[in-house]
A and B are shown apart, each in its own frame.
Chain A
Amino acid sequence: MKMKTILAAGAMSVAAIAANNAHAGAVLDGIKAKGFVQCGVNTGLPGFSAANAEGKWEGLDVDVCRAAAAALLGDAEKVQYTPMTAAQRFTALQSGEIDILSRNTTWTLTRDAKLGLTFGGVNYYDGQGFLVPKSLGVTHATELDGATVCVEPGTTTELNLADYFRAKGMSFEPVVIENINETTAAFFAGRCDVYTTDASGLASVRQTMAPNPDDYVILPEIISKEPLGPAVAQGDDQWADLVRWSLMAMIEAEELGVNSGNVDDMKKSENPGIQRLLGVSPGMGEALGVDEEWAYRIIKQVGNYGESYKANVTAKLGLERGLNALWTDGGLQYAIPVR
Chain B
Amino acid sequence: MSKTQQAPGGVRSKGLADYLNDENVRAVIYQIIAIGLVILAGWYLVSNTLDNLERQNISTGYGFLNLEASFGISESMIDYTPRSSYATALMVGLLNTVKVAFLGIVLCTIIGTIFGVARLSSNWIVRKLATVYVETFRNIPVLLQLFFWYAIIPGAFPAARNALQPLPDVLLTNRGMYIPVPVADNAYDFMGIAAILAFVVIYFVKKWAAKRLDATGQPFPIFWASVGILVGFVLIAYIAGGAPTEMDIPELKGFNIRGGYNISPEFMSVLIGLTIYTSTYVAEVVRSGIQAVPNGQWEAADSLGLKRSVSLRKIILPQSMRVAIPPLTNQYLNLTKNSSLAVAVGYPDLVSVSNTTMNQTGQAIEAISIYMAVYLGLSLITSLFMNWFNKKMALVER
Contact = CB atoms under 8 A, between A and B. Distances in A.
B52 A16 contact: yes
Interface residues of B, number: 53
A333 interface: no
A94 B154 contact: no
B82 interface: yes
B174 A175 contact: no
Given A158-B71, A172-B72, A177-B346, A146 B256 contact: yes
A176 B352 CA distance: 9
Q: Which of B256, B341, B359, B364 has the most CB of A within 10 A?
A: B359
B71 A111 contact: no
B344 A94 contact: no
A178 B341 CA distance: 11
Nearest to B173: A190
Shortest Cβ-Cβ A-B pairs, 7 listed: A154-B359, A116-B56, A115-B362, A116-B58, A162-B82, A177-B346, A16-B48
Given A154-B356, A166-B83, A182-B345, A19 B175 contact: no
Given A2-B343, A145-B254, A182-B346, A174 B355 contact: no
Contacts of A153: 71, 352, 355-356, 359
Interface of B: 44-45, 48-49, 51-53, 55-59, 70-74, 82-83, 147, 150-151, 154-155, 159, 174-175, 253-256, 258, 265-266, 340-341, 343-346, 348, 351-352, 355-356, 358-362, 364-365, 368
Given A19-B52, A163-B82, 6 more contacts: A16-B45, A16-B49, A116-B362, A146-B254, A173-B256, A190-B159
Interface string A156-196: 00110111011000001111111100110110011101000
Nearest to B254: A146
A12 interface: yes
Nearest to A160: B70
A107 interface: no
A262 to B, nearest CB: 41
A271 interface: no
Contacts of B155: 189
A212 interface: no
A148 interface: yes
A41 B45 CA distance: 29
A158 B355 CA distance: 13
Interface string A3-37: 00110110011011101101000000000000000
Contacts of B59: 114
Nearest to A172: B72
Contacts of B55: 22, 234-235
B355 A154 contact: yes
A165 B83 CA distance: 12
A90 interface: yes
A1 interface: yes
B58 A2 contact: no
A250 B340 CA distance: 44
B340 A176 contact: no
A166 B266 CA distance: 24
Given A16-B45, A162-B82, A91 B56 contact: no
B256 A16 contact: no
A136 interface: yes
A148 B159 CA distance: 12
A114 B359 CA distance: 11
A168 to B, nearest CB: 13
Contacts of A182: 147, 150, 344-346
Nearest to B348: A176
Interface string A109-137: 01101111000000000000000000010
B174 A111 contact: no
Given A5-B368, A12-B49, A166-B83, A87 B345 contact: no
Given A8-B364, A176-B346, A178-B344, A146 B355 contact: no
B174 A17 contact: no
B44 A17 contact: yes
A158 B72 contact: yes
A158 B56 CA distance: 26
Interface string A239-271: 000000000000000000000000000000000
A148 B264 CA distance: 12
A105 B53 CA distance: 21
27 contacts: A2-B340, A6-B368, A9-B365, A12-B49, A19-B52, A90-B364, A94-B58, A111-B362, A114-B58, A146-B256, A148-B175, A153-B71, A154-B358, A159-B360, A165-B72, A173-B74, A174-B74, A175-B346, A176-B72, A182-B147, A182-B345, A183-B346, A186-B150, A190-B159, A233-B56, A234-B58, A235-B57
A142 B368 CA distance: 38
A235 B56 contact: yes
Contacts of A113: 57
Contact of A193 (B71, B255, B346): B255
A314 to B, nearest CB: 31
Given A94-B56, A158-B356, A174-B73, A17 B362 contact: no
Contacts of A185: 151
Contacts of B58: 94, 114-116, 234
Residue among A113, A116, A172 with the most chain B CB within 10 A? Answer: A116
A116 B344 contact: no
Contact of B362 (A110, A148, A161, A173): A110
A145 B254 CA distance: 8
